[in-house]
Chains A and B, each alone.
Chain A
Amino acid sequence: MAPARDTPFRSAEMSMVQLYISNEIGREVVNALGELGLVQFRDLNGDISAFQRAFTQDIRRLDNVERQLRYFHAQMEKAGIPLRKIDLDVNTLAAPTTTEIDELAEKSQSLEQRVSSLNESYETLKKREVELTEWRWVLREAGGFFDRAHGNVDEIRASTDNDDAPLLADVEHNHSAPDVERSFSGMNIGFVAGVIARDRVAAFERILWRTLRGNLYMNQAEIPEPLIDPTNNEPVQKNVFVIFAHGKEILAKIRKISESMGAEVYNVDENSDLRRDQVHEVNARLNDVQNVLRNTQQTLEAELTQISRSVAAWMVLIGKEKAVYNTLNNFSYDRARRTLIAEGWCPTHDLSLIRSTLQDVTNRAGLSVPSIINEIRTNKQPPTYLKTNKFTEAFQTIVNAYGTATYQEVNPAIPVIVTFPFLFAVMFGDFGHACIMLAASLAMIYWEKPLKKVTFELFAMVYYGRYIALVMSVFSIYTGLIYNDVFSKSMTLFDSQWRWKVPENWQHGMSVEAELAEPNGYRYPFGLDWRWHDAENDLLFSNSYKMKMSIILGWAHMTYSLCFSYINARHFKKPIDIWGNFVPGMIFFQSIFGYLVGCIIYKWTVDWKGTGQSPPGLLNMLIYMFLQPGTLDMQLYRGQATVQVILLLLAFTQVPVLLFLKPFYLRWEHNRARAKGYRGIGERSRVSALDDDDGDDNGHAAGGRASEDEGVAMITQDLGDEEHEEFEFGEVMIHQVIHTIEFCLNCVSHTASYLRLWALSLAHQQLSAVLWSMTIGPALATTGIGGAIYIVVTFTMFFVLSCIILIVMEGVSAMLHSLRLAWVESFSKFAEFGGWAFAPFSFQAQIEESEELKEYLG
């Protein structure tokens, strides 16, 4: 009997469906299905390369639009305009029509042109501005040189121009010609002025010096403010230089060198009046340029601000649209009938929903040709689709991290929801630490919505597992109460079952033993008696208790897990798995470890002091049971030797059953089928595109038969690659031998593996005790103001270290151990993990996964 609905107990029932969609509404249908997110389409065009597919053109066009949108985003970042992010939880985007997409494409095209032309003019203007600024600096600085130089022009002149002038003549000369034009040209000295990046100055100087053999006079000054390089918007420190040299050729050389060094050479007039005019002119032009620049920038910013409001939404729309066309590319196109044929997997129980969605789209489009959805039968293994909700999601993720469950086998996450946090709690049992953890997880659940937006990865991980943390902490509170541990201290919730047996001559420091208050009556009702706390032989007791508890819990966990293999065998209708695997396995496990657990419990129930016998060691008992069957070290109960021999025989007779029953049964079954004349189906797959039970759309099926035939051909061809499993006895046998050896050895090693429960809970308890005694413990004995300060300091240390080491680090370690117990010890007993995950075409999943869209989503 199939369940009426898919439950989380096993993966959803899946159907392979074939869709016939009229070409006109293909896009709309895929859009609607993408919103629904319930169909995983198969690629029907595997042999056609990506470039030859039908909708590649559209995808290219959308790629272009996407590029433009990214360009806007980059420009916005450059201009420092914040992007208005889109929050898909708040505003949903309606599915766009084709014309809307076209409009969007056109709009972004024209916007791109506008933005890029604005950008271009902005850049040219900026360059112009920089040039003018540089020129102004050159004028200013060079002017300074000239003014300083003019003061001693005459000296220079005297020493260079007139070699044969009398030494005293210069004084005279000066006096006689005061109106001589004080000019360099008169001296046949020319100059080059310009601007060069500061880090190149040294090289520039050296090159000039070498090429001109020192025939120059170079003067430079630093420009105090950094200039902006318009090509990459980075500030550059520059120097103004003026080089004086002799002769036109040399000047030309200098000019060339400076150009090749990346310096800008500017025209500076040596006449100070002309220079003043030049400065004025430059200033005026600079002003103009700056004005235009400001305007351009404002326009650009206005434009970008306008775009920033909607670019995120556009990005999402284009992303969806692209996904739609990518999906459409997987469809096969029937040119004769202008029909798209799609194939895919969907949950069987959601077929009606998909059908009505198709109907809706067709009606809205006003098409007379209906879209048809047909279920087809296939021998392909369906994908595993495990529905999750907010609570189970994280648990399911833990399981999926190990593997994808086989289609329809018991969902391993079902037991994990309780066993994983519970085993964690057994290792983490401390009431205090658990309460802090509970508070944290409750806070994460209470502020679920605002915290969802936090992108800090480590926190996002913890947040994702908030419900696991909740269940873990609740169980830890319980186990903390059982262990009677709160920050390593005990709680005296009930009266103790112990009473100190005080000797007559008791003195302080004497060892005191306890005795039962009521030897046959009252026992501590819940958890560990607090008298054990801080007792000298506390560990002696708690180790024995926790070790035995680990074995019992492990046995229970494994037995429980093994039972699922029975449910799986029942579900898949494989009785041989019950008789050949489950039953012998169970008997083997129970007759050894079930017996051990029984003995542990029996030993606890016997009042050994009352009977006067000495209690037998169970470990020795188990060892002797194997080494010397039939003989006993110490007797636990009457007839023990016989029982043990029988159990041992029972266990060992299961080994051949485990080994041979299943392979031989399969061979017998195979041979019987052969004898009756059945043959393997071979490479042909049982596929029929026709809906055999001819449901509601009888008429349409008749209409679309011709194209359906094509569909069938396509499918059979497609599925042909899948090899049919030939029965091979050797392989089955080897598989079973491995399974048997593994199972028997694992029974031992896995049981031992559960001892980690004891080890970790011991470590946690001891660690918290040490932390207490090293921080706040000694501080509590101090008095006075110093003591108060001491307590505050040590308490802070105690609390912080408790949180970091005992909750976070120990918690992570306990979690990993518990995870291992789930993955290895439990899953190996029943789960096959041979499935492949259902990945439906869904916009939501796509947007969540997309790295690129992440920065656009709020």
Chain B
Amino acid sequence: MANGYSIFVGLVVIVALCLAAWFFSPKGENQVLWRSSLILTFVSCYLMWAITFLAQLHPLIEPRRSDLRKEFLNH
């Protein structure tokens, strides 16, 4: 489901959303406000998600615990 290509899928989704924001922003003197805010929001959120995803894509260390209970071992 979610592997390395997700980054690009996400990018496509974000570009589509940005385009939608550009074209469907309400007209008027606040149009520029709508466009800039929406696009900036999408891009920032994408950045954050992508960074988090990439950081876990090829992890260098693994989680380690010694306080596990038996019933959670295979959970």
CB-contact partner of B32 in A8, A422, A513, A515, under 8 A: A8
Complex contact B56–A537 (CB within 8 A): no
Complex contact B66–A509 (CB within 8 A): yes
Complex interface residues of chain A between 411 and 467 (CB less than 8 A to chain B): 414-415, 417-419, 422, 426
Complex contact A418–B44 (CB within 8 A): yes
CA gap between A527 and B48 in the complex, in Å: 9
CB-contact partner of A601 in B54, B59, B62, B66, under 8 A: B54
CB-contact partner of B2 in A478, A506, A523, A610, under 8 A: A523
Q: Which residue of A lies closest to B2 (CB)?
A: A525
CA gap between A610 and B74 in the complex, in Å: 26
Complex interface residues of chain B between 39 and 75 (CB less than 8 A to chain A): 40-41, 44-45, 47-49, 51-70, 73-74
Complex contact B73–A502 (CB within 8 A): yes
A497 at the interface (CB under 8 A from B): yes
Which residues on B sit within 8 Å (CB–CB) of A497?
56
CB-contact partner of B54 in A9, A422, A482, A605, under 8 A: A605
A615 at the interface (CB under 8 A from B): yes
CB-contact partner of B57 in A7, A528, A605, under 8 A: A605
Complex contact A604–B54 (CB within 8 A): yes
Complex contact A482–B62 (CB within 8 A): no
CA gap between A604 and B60 in the complex, in Å: 9
Complex contact A536–B64 (CB within 8 A): yes
A676 at the interface (CB under 8 A from B): no
Complex contact B33–A392 (CB within 8 A): yes
Complex interface residues of chain A between 511 and 566 (CB less than 8 A to chain B): 511-516, 520-529, 531-532, 534-538, 540-541, 544-545, 548-549, 552-553, 556
Contact count A vs B, C-beta below 8 Å? 152
CA gap between A418 and B73 in the complex, in Å: 43
Which residues on B sit within 8 Å (CB–CB) of A605?
4, 54, 57-58
Which residues on A sit within 8 Å (CB–CB) of B60?
608-609, 615
Complex contact A418–B40 (CB within 8 A): yes
A500 at the interface (CB under 8 A from B): yes
Q: Which residue of A lies closest to B70 (CB)?
A: A508
Which residues on A sit within 8 Å (CB–CB) of B58?
604-610
Given contacts A392-B33, A521-B3, A606-B58, A549 and B48 within 8 Å (CB-CB): yes
Which residues on A sit within 8 Å (CB–CB) of B64?
511-514, 535-537
A122 at the interface (CB under 8 A from B): no
Taking the closest CB of chain B, its distance from the CB of A21, in whole angstroms, is 30
Which residues on B sit within 8 Å (CB–CB) of A532?
63
Q: Which residue of A lies closest to B43 (CB)?
A: A556
A232 at the interface (CB under 8 A from B): no
Which residues on A sit within 8 Å (CB–CB) of B1?
522, 525
Which residues on A sit within 8 Å (CB–CB) of B41?
418, 422
CB-contact partner of B52 in A527, A540, A544, under 8 A: A527
CA gap between A292 and B55 in the complex, in Å: 90
A619 at the interface (CB under 8 A from B): no
CA gap between A657 and B47 in the complex, in Å: 33
Q: Given A500-B68, A521-B3, 18 more contacts at CB 8 Å?
A: A414-B36, A418-B37, A418-B44, A422-B44, A426-B48, A497-B56, A506-B73, A523-B2, A527-B52, A529-B56, A532-B63, A535-B65, A537-B64, A541-B63, A545-B52, A549-B51, A553-B48, A615-B60
The 5 closest A-B pairs by CB, nearest first: A535-B63, A525-B2, A511-B66, A418-B40, A604-B54
List 16 contacting pairs A-B, 8 Å CB cutoff, sorted by A. Answer: A5-B29, A417-B33, A417-B40, A508-B69, A509-B66, A510-B66, A511-B65, A511-B66, A512-B64, A513-B62, A514-B62, A525-B6, A536-B63, A538-B63, A552-B47, A605-B54
